[in-house]
Structure 1
């Protein structure tokens, strides 16, 4: 009987309501602040202790319960969305959300997140129910509800990002970045232009090269780097932190600022991707290059196929085109082909292009092995590394690095890389993975290295740069002479001119990007209704520099 009476408190709804709220609060703090999982217990315990002390749900002077729909329910839901995104991706970019909603998310490989989404939904329903009960049974929570709703809205990083972007409408200067944009111009081409092979390694950032934190996971890429020129310090600007944004940054020299409300038809997917600018494919196509793109995932996802077809590529092959060619049709993952299969098809494509003997070729390849949260290591890695536990991202990093090393060796042995510049780069910094706490413990940078004829073996360059600087660097490494060593917002890392990151720093550039409207309109030229362009007052980029210091890094304003 005594035990029964001691457990009677468990029957009271207030404790269940407080427990649900405490657990959700603890999980949110642990996720956003990147605390150890065990921290959830003391946070929830402190919440329950505070609830007992203040008699939440059972006030000393109770009022009759009422049926109420608290104002805080919607802000709580939006916080739930943010926590889910932070747990899934680590760094939440509002631009990525807008872009994927407009470019299309069909054929994505995130089915593994569906269970997590379902659990989050159930947890949010429990939280909303608990909060509604608490507000209905404790008048103090009803009185504080509207203030709490305002606090929840003001503190949500999603609203903060959207508010910053909205401020661009009234900013004093919405063309700061656009004035620094240089349309890529080839002033002189080499007599014998090289072929080009670009290998994007999904999420395999250069940060993994730190052996103290990550062991030998990056060792194979270090070995490749000793054959060529390694660039360190390639940082990540805002709006370059997902695959399409990373590829556009490195091939077009600009962050991917989503079309947003500039899109002519908000209820249909984008028909073109950054149609207003010239990218690597456009430049090489004009120089007579035959261009191919290969990736294991669907080209329908996030406008990938649209971008490459629209910017000079002759052949664009993804899951739909390559999967029927597999010997084992079951050897696929959620996203598409494993990288050992993809690299086999890449070798075949380079053989085809090389045998045609019809001028230089360019191949861009996008891997999958390092994809967050745990990667998709290929079967070819198991014999070398042992069984994969399904969670350790370092296993996948090591697999991706070794597969890349093996691909380069195979191509060199066949003589397919003669007169070829090889570019190895991460598409972006990795999103939330099992090694997340180690990754964010210090500065992070992207992988970028060059190999090939004329590239000094063992060379290393340490500069504060961004992936936007890859575009002009690749062109100059191929032997092209370009206008002022610049293309887009990028500056060649083979030249002495300072990069935008060196001049202004990441924080200042991020602030400028939040205010920018002219560059956004440049990117999406052709999708903006004429009337809206005229109303914006930025139909032409002839703008006056507001302050001399803003133009200190410009010889003259860029006029288009």
Structure 2
């Protein structure tokens, strides 16, 4: 419900029209055909008024009944009752557990490390083989599996694994917000005195002091690079509201002549172009005296079934989504290898993390007994960072924990190892998911919080 309400409030510019057309093509033809058949039948029986009237009455009753049933299914599927109930009762959960980054001592090393943060669209550890900790009998993402094995992966099991997207972070903007600010996105019930700024085009929760704000204070040059319209979902407003971040999106590529003005595939331009443009951005950033943060978001693996580019193979036959996942894995790995060959790599930390679990409708069917998790990997960590098995495995973690953990991966010391609702996973500090359990954490996040509403809407008190 929070996701639906959020998207009703934020700009929908840049939405992939394929999803809308799929919905129309699925529903409209059958509805029109049924209407035509019923109308033709009633018209043919018009001389028999009793029969025609009875049929009309039955059809009307069935139509109303179907509409009511559809509304009830939606009501049940989205747990609307529970959602509304939680909006009525004030909870202190967020306020009691929130650690304000503005009031926390955050100490950077003398030589500041660069950051490359890649949000991998819909990427799960689930796509690995069971042998490595995944949910399938085969490995869709062998290169990403090897990266997680070779470097640091935080897992909920004794094998490779990941964190879970807590309530309010189960879609792309929710995932980005959680991983960079340590907070969920919640629907604002508010009052007449609340100036709702969450997701509007003029700003996006500037009081939620985030990763980009902290890096900006330390003099970092920052760029957010995506292959779609950044306006969609409030992403442009968010990154422009934090850390003086340069936005480089689909529209930028058109304006600068990287792609033709009428070029459009999938959500804008595909990932093969994204990684090419990212290389150029990194070369430009690395030539500056200041440290840099390049944050990227891939798109080819978005639902439904992903985008098949010219690099995609046919390893999994008719399973298009698996083929797209495999293609994405190869492209990310090649991009990482390119970075590792550059002079700036020595002082650069790379973070890979899925933005949320896949929304593909049927790809993970039959995995009910498997606890799905969001993929993560930390590459080229500074010396002295504790990555012992006890810290990286058997952990209950949410994507909100990525906020302080990313800073720690840059060699930053954080007083208390907590920021917002996130916990530094390189420490022994208990995460909120470990303290309250996943269900307990979600319940606390979903409940009404005036503290959250004021924080998220830039009310300083």
TM-score band by shorter chain is: 0.7 to 0.9
**Alignment correspondent of 2:252:** 321
**Alignment correspondent of 2:151:** 228
Residue number among 308, 323, 329 corresponding to 1:395 in the alignment: 323
Residue number among 405, 409, 424 corresponding to 2:333 in the alignment: 405
Taking the aligned partners of 1:474 and 1:395, their CA distance within structure 2 comes to: 30
Residue number among 270, 277, 298 corresponding to 2:229 in the alignment: 298
Distance 1:129 1:499, change over 3 A: farther
1:166 aligned to 2:94? no
Structure 2 gap segments, 5+ residues each: 43-51, 157-162
The structure whose RCO (Cα within 8 Å, separation 6+) is larger is 2
Give the CA deviation at 1:261: 5.8
| Counterparts of residues 206-245 of structure 1 (less than 5 Å) | 206-211=125-130, 213=136, 215-233=138-156, 234-245=163-174
Tell me the secondary structure at the aligned position of residue 100 of structure 2: coil
**Alignment correspondent of 1:373:** 304
| Residue pair 2:140, 2:325 contacting (<8 A) in 1 also | yes
**Alignment correspondent of 2:186:** 257
1:513 aligned to 2:445? yes
**Alignment correspondent of 2:217:** 286
Tell me the secondary structure at the aligned position of residue 293 of structure 1: strand
Moved more, 337-346 or 369-378: 369-378
1:186-215 Cα shifts (integer Å, max 9, x gaps)? 432211121111011111111111257152
Using the size of structure 2 for normalisation, the TM-score is 0.82
Give the CA deviation at 1:285: 0.6
| Counterparts of residues 54-65 of structure 1 (less than 5 Å) | none
Taking the aligned partners of 2:411 and 2:320, their CA distance within structure 1 comes to: 41
Taking the aligned partners of 1:414 and 1:160, their CA distance within structure 2 comes to: 48
Using the size of structure 1 for normalisation, the TM-score is 0.69
* Number of aligned residue pairs: 430
Taking the aligned partners of 2:342 and 2:70, their CA distance within structure 1 comes to: 61
Give the CA RMSD over aligned residues: 3.4
**Alignment correspondent of 1:176:** 93
1:156 aligned to 2:88? no
| Residue pair 1:228, 1:458 contacting (<8 A) in 2 also | no
Distance 1:160 1:348, change over 3 A: closer
**Alignment correspondent of 2:114:** 195
**Alignment correspondent of 2:349:** 421
Taking the aligned partners of 2:125 and 2:315, their CA distance within structure 1 comes to: 25
1:122-165 Cα shifts (integer Å, max 9, x gaps)? 44567789999999549899999999987765553368633333
Taking the aligned partners of 1:141 and 1:376, their CA distance within structure 2 comes to: 41
Give the CA deviation at 1:390: 8.0
**Alignment correspondent of 1:248:** 177
Distance 1:149 1:359, change over 3 A: closer
Larger Rg: 1
Distance 1:112 1:142, change over 3 A: closer
| Residue pair 1:423, 1:449 contacting (<8 A) in 2 also | yes
1:217-237 Cα shifts (integer Å, max 9, x gaps)? 111012222331011230121
Tell me the secondary structure at the aligned position of residue 424 of structure 1: strand
Tell me the secondary structure at the aligned position of residue 346 of structure 2: coil
**Alignment correspondent of 2:400:** 468
Distance 1:393 1:169, change over 3 A: closer
Taking the aligned partners of 1:238 and 1:495, their CA distance within structure 2 comes to: 24
**Alignment correspondent of 1:36:** none
1:111 aligned to 2:111? no
